[in-house]
Every structure is written in structure tokens, then in C-alpha cells.
Copies of this chain bind each other. A is one copy, B any other.
Amino acid sequence: MNFQINKDVLLNNLIVAQKALSNKTPNPALQGIKIEVFKDHLVIITSNSDIAIKLNVKDSSLDVKEEGSALIPGKYFIEIIRKLDALKCNLSIVADNMLRIEADRSDITLNMMDLEDYPELEFSEKIKSVKVNVRTLKTIIRQTAFATSSIENRPILTGVNFKIDANKLTAIATDSYRLSQKEIELQDTYEPMDIIIPGRSLEELTKILENNNEVVELHFDNSKILFKYGNIKFQSRLLEGNYPETSRLIPTELPIRIKFNKDSLATAIERASLLSSRDGNNAIVKLSVRPDNVIEITSNSPEIGKVLEEVYPVDQIVGSPIKIAFSSKYMMDALKIFNSTEITVNFTGEIRPFIIKGEYDPEMLQLILPVRTE
């Protein structure tokens, strides 16, 4: 193996590959980056137990003198390439399974890892695939993945449920205390699909997708999904099991409706959360409708103090007055992802889930379970 390449081209690809690089792993080979050198392109592969990335690097600066492949200690390799001052670098295998990196006045040799130890990875594309606009996919992930559970005792809730029915894609995430649901219309019509993608995989994926109008192809079977985007193949395992039927959680009658300016509501809740009693890590705040139709956000910690915030609704309040308590974090998480300046909170009753909707966020629904207070 012996090739020269533009340093920044190599670095930018390594930064993408790093997303699937293992730091701690039962299999030390996965701390390595696998590089395969062909006549006119490189292949860079990384993998951990959840995701695997395969990059196809073609660049006019690539000059291959000798084909071959190598398994390179990932952390050191990326740090070295990052710190090089040079425009180009030359990578070659020298005696005793060492990688030599020559760049300008730097001459670095790095002990390599044993290529035999690296697992055989399959990045399998299917003939049929679902096509989604990059920007749309990023939005779906941003608006749902935050609501997955981070606790591993119900593993299925650490994933986002993706369902396709004809040309409708629905993504749902819930940690059983809140729920985020987003629907979009696809350009084509597909056969039904129902899979659960780990939330963390989606968050890594979203970091390497740029904000453009290109297309991501989704290829999947029962255990894996492959996202194909530009020269990147990003593969994730799927979660096994049946995702809970969430539709019955969502109230169909919503007799009480209050429209808020999103930022006014968010900053009032943020201030109230400073001095509120805690349920685990969650600061609990109360919302109540005063007879004069002003909304009060209150909190109270006997040791520290209390907060009373007045918020004026944007519109006439629909329905009877209500008093309800909820986690300020869940509420702020939900508000943050709306694009709308004005949002509507829809209540059913004091101990029933409530729903947030935004005028400019079609087909997105946020649901939060209230907290019982005596």
C-alpha cells in the first residue's frame, strides 16, 4: 500500500468515519480504521456495535503507487492527520507492519493493527429503497430522537419507530412520559414498512448529513438499515420487538385550548424551573388559568423560594379553566423544536396527557404526561 492524497480530503473523510469508531469495545480491532486502496479510489471503514460507516473516496489528488489495505489505530491516526501542516500526505506500508506518513517536513511511523482481526462487514443495498430528501430526514430526526428513552431497561423505547404506509412516513419516539410524532409525505409510494432505529444511531447520522436537497436512500431488512448518501454508506442495527401502539395514548377530544407565544412561555417556564421542587432530575412547574384569563406558571421549593410568572395567551382561551403540573424539561424540549412562533397547548384534563401543536409545523405533534401533585 502506497498512496498520496490531499490532506484535507483525507481528514474530512476520517472525521465522518470517526462517528462509528469504537473507543471502548470488547473487540480491540474496532478501535482501528480499515483502509483499502484501489487503483482509483480508497475505501475507509469503521464500525462499533451499533453503527458502521463505509466511505468511498475518489479525489483528483489521489495518486496510488501501490494497492493494498491496512488496519490503523483510529484515534492516533486521526489526531496525526489533523495536526499536519502539509497540503498533501503520503501513506505507505513499511517494514514490520508499520504505516509511514510523510508530509512536508514530518515523517511519522505508526504501528499498525492486525487486519485479520477485523470483522467482515456487509453494506448491502437492496433493489428497492425508500428515498427521502436530506433536509427532511434531518428535520424528522431533530424533531423525534430527543424524545427517546435513555434508560436501557425498555430498550425498544431507545429507538425511533419509522413506519411507511403508501406515501406516508411516520416517525414516533416516546420515553413513556412524553411522545413526539412527525408525519411527512414521500414523493413515491412504497410497500409498508415498520422498523425501530436506535435514537443514538440517528443522532450520529444527522451529524454527517449536510443541509442540502440531495436524496438519502434507505435500504433495510429485518435487522439492519443502510443510509446511502453521496459517497457515504451509514449502516445501523435495528431494534427487535414490537413498538408500542401509541395511537391510543393520543387524546382525540381536546376541549381546552390555549395559544401562546412560544418564547414567552419558554422563558417563563425556564425561570420557574430555577426554584422548583424536583422529581428526580426534573423540575416540576405548575400552569393554571386565572379567572382574568391570565396564565400563571408557578413553582415552589420550601428551602429556596418560589416563582410566579404571568403569561398572556395570544388568543381567547377555549374551554374551562385548568390547573396542571408537568416537567419543565419536557416542556422546554418540546417547545424548542417548533418552528412556529405561536403554539397551541391542548388539554383534556388535569391528569390526562396534553398536546402541543404549531401552526407552521404541519404533521408534528408533541405529547406530554402531566405530573400528579397533591
Contact = CB atoms under 8 A, between A and B. Distances in A.
B83 A271 contact: yes
Contacts of A73: 304
A80 interface: yes
A253 interface: no
Contacts of A271: 80, 83-84, 106, 108
B106 A76 contact: no
Contacts of A311: 105
A108 B275 contact: yes
B267 A108 contact: no
A308 interface: yes
Q: Kindly report how many copies of this chain are found in the complex they form together.
A: 2
Given A105-B268, A270-B83, A275 B308 contact: no
Interface string A10-42: 000000000000000000000000000000000
B76 A275 contact: yes
A309 interface: yes
Contacts of A84: 271
A274 B108 CA distance: 10
A75 to B, nearest CB: 10
Contacts of A85: 267
Interface in A35-87: 73, 76, 79-80, 83-85
B76 A274 contact: yes
Contacts of A270: 83
A111 B300 CA distance: 11
A29 B231 CA distance: 61
Contacts of A108: 271, 275, 305-308
Nearest to A312: B105
A279 interface: no
A250 interface: no
B274 A304 contact: no
A183 interface: no
A109 B268 contact: no
The contact size tier of chain A is 20 to 34
Nearest to A108: B307
Interface in A252-290: 267-268, 270-271, 274-275
Contacts of A99: 305
A98 interface: yes
Contacts of A80: 271, 274-275
A91 to B, nearest CB: 13
A10 to B, nearest CB: 16
B275 A110 contact: yes
Contacts of A79: 274
Nearest to A273: B83
A8 interface: no
A323 to B, nearest CB: 18
A303 interface: yes
B307 A107 contact: yes
Nearest to A106: B309
B305 A109 contact: yes
Interface of A: 73, 76, 79-80, 83-85, 98-99, 105-111, 267-268, 270-271, 274-275, 303-312
6 contacts: A76-B274, A83-B267, A106-B268, A106-B307, A107-B307, A107-B309
Given A105-B312, A107-B310, 8 more contacts: A79-B274, A80-B271, A80-B275, A105-B309, A106-B307, A108-B271, A108-B306, A111-B305
